[in-house]
């Protein structure tokens, strides 16, 4: 079975190094002239699939915006995931799950087992119960060609108070996460299946990402203030595996399909200018 890392590497080469989020904020539904209800949620998601499903390498639905409508919102998420996969985009579900290992096994079954209605190519996970507690996700992902993106240096201003804290060996919490994920990716070619989330907003922090071996998901671009040029500052020499992620910056251009596609083309060009067209 082809690994997630290999599939992602190909998708980024074929479609460009870009992830676009589906974040149906109430304000965006309003801006698009939609109602803040299930109907608005379904129309919003369908429009993004129609506009970008056949061209974006990775699409990242934000689970929270579907969950807020309860089980029927989750049903819209299920249908959106299916349509995205059918249109050839890899689906990274942003759910940031994490718990004790036996519970993580249930999350793994929910998102990374092909028999699940919420089955996706990859999920985001929180390592703050220890990276080792995520082992059931790593195992299930490996068994089925899936991926896991673990939070390391998040884009929000509150992140550093936890992530920059140092342990007894002098490493920061984030560096410990980075090093443990690097171990999991060791030897994987052309790209490991275990990614790290590193915000484009964080500036130069001195963390060593050179051995990560997997994709580096970079949110925080656009609406949170970072620009593609900031990727150089944050990632330095490690740009070749960076997967920039935009949500509102692209979604603000809707509901016209042509507007969404133009915004997609623009941010992809910005990213290519920094990352190089071969990445």
Ligand X SMILES: O=c1ccn([C@@H]2O[C@H](COP(=O)(O)O)[C@@H](O)[C@H]2O)c(=O)[nH]1
Binding site for ligand X (CB under 6 A): 21, 23, 62, 94, 154-155, 197, 199, 219-220, 222-224, 245-249
Other Cβ atoms within 10 Å of 33 Cβ, number = 10
Q: How far is the CB of 197 from ligand X (least distance, A)?
A: 5
Q: What six digits make up the tokens of 175?
A: 């560096």
Nearer to ligand X, 121 or 249 (CB): 249
The alpha-carbon radius of gyration of the chain (Å, integer) is 18
Do 253 and 216 touch, CB atoms closer than 8 A?
Answer: no
Q: How far is the CB of 219 from ligand X (least distance, A)?
A: 4
Nearest Cα to 155, choosing from 258, 104, 227? 227
Nearer to ligand X, 94 or 121 (CB): 94
Q: How far is the CB of 196 from ligand X (least distance, A)?
A: 10
Running DSSP on this structure, what letter comes out for residue 226? B
For the question of residue 60 being annotated catalytic, the response is no
Do 233 and 203 touch, CB atoms closer than 8 A?
Answer: yes
Rounded to whole angstroms, the Cα distance separating 123 from 91 reads: 8
Nearer to ligand X, 8 or 218 (CB): 218
Among 96, 192, 198, 221, the one annotated catalytic:
96
Do 7 and 45 touch, CB atoms closer than 8 A?
Answer: no
Do 226 and 199 touch, CB atoms closer than 8 A?
Answer: yes
Rounded to whole angstroms, the Cα distance separating 48 from 199 reads: 23
Nearer to ligand X, 17 or 220 (CB): 220
Tell me the sheet residues that pair with 122: 92, 147
Running DSSP on this structure, what letter comes out for residue 214? S
Rounded to whole angstroms, the Cα distance separating 111 from 107 reads: 6
Q: How far is the CB of 248 from ligand X (least distance, A)?
A: 3
Nearer to ligand X, 36 or 139 (CB): 36
Q: How far is the CB of 150 from ligand X (least distance, A)?
A: 11
Q: For the chain, how many residues are written?
A: 279
Do 80 and 22 touch, CB atoms closer than 8 A?
Answer: yes
Q: How far is the CB of 156 from ligand X (least distance, A)?
A: 6
Q: Are strands 242-246 and 19-22 parallel, antiparallel or unpaired?
A: parallel
Nearer to ligand X, 3 or 97 (CB): 97
| Positions marked catalytic | 96
């Amino acid at each position: 079975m082809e690994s997630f890392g290999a599939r992602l590497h190909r998708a980024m080469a074929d479609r460009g190094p870009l992830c676009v989020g589906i974040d149906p904020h109430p304000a965006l539904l309003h801006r698009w002239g939609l109602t803040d209800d299930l109907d608005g949620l379904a129309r919003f998601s369908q429009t993004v699939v129609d506009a970008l499903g056949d061209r974006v390498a990775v699409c990242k639905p934000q689970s929270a915006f579907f969950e807020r409508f309860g089980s029927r919102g989750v049903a819209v998420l299920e249908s959106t995931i299916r349509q995205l996969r059918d249109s050839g985009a890899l689906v990274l579900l942003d759910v940031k799950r994490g718990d004790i290992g036996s519970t993580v096994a249930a999350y793994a079954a929910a998102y990374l087992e092909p028999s699940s209605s919420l089955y996706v190519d990859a999920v985001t996970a929180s390592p703050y119960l220890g990276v080792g507690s995520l082992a059931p996700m790593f195992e299930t992902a490996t068994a089925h060609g899936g991926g896991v993106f673990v939070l390391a240096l998040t884009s929000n201003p509150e992140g550093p108070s936890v992530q920059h804290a140092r342990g007894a060996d002098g490493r920061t919490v984030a560096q410990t996460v980075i090093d443990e994920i690097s171990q999991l990716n060791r030897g994987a070619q052309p790209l490991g299946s275990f990614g790290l989330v590193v915000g484009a907003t964080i500036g130069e922090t001195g963390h060593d990402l050179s051995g990560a071996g997997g994709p580096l998901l970079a949110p925080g671009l656009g609406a949170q203030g970072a620009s593609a040029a900031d990727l150089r500052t944050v990632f330095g020499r490690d740009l070749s595996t960076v997967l920039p992620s935009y949500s509102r910056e692209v979604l603000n251009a809707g509901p016209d399909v042509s507007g969404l596609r133009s915004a997609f083309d623009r941010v992809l060009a910005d990213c290519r200018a920094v990352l190089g067209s071969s990445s």
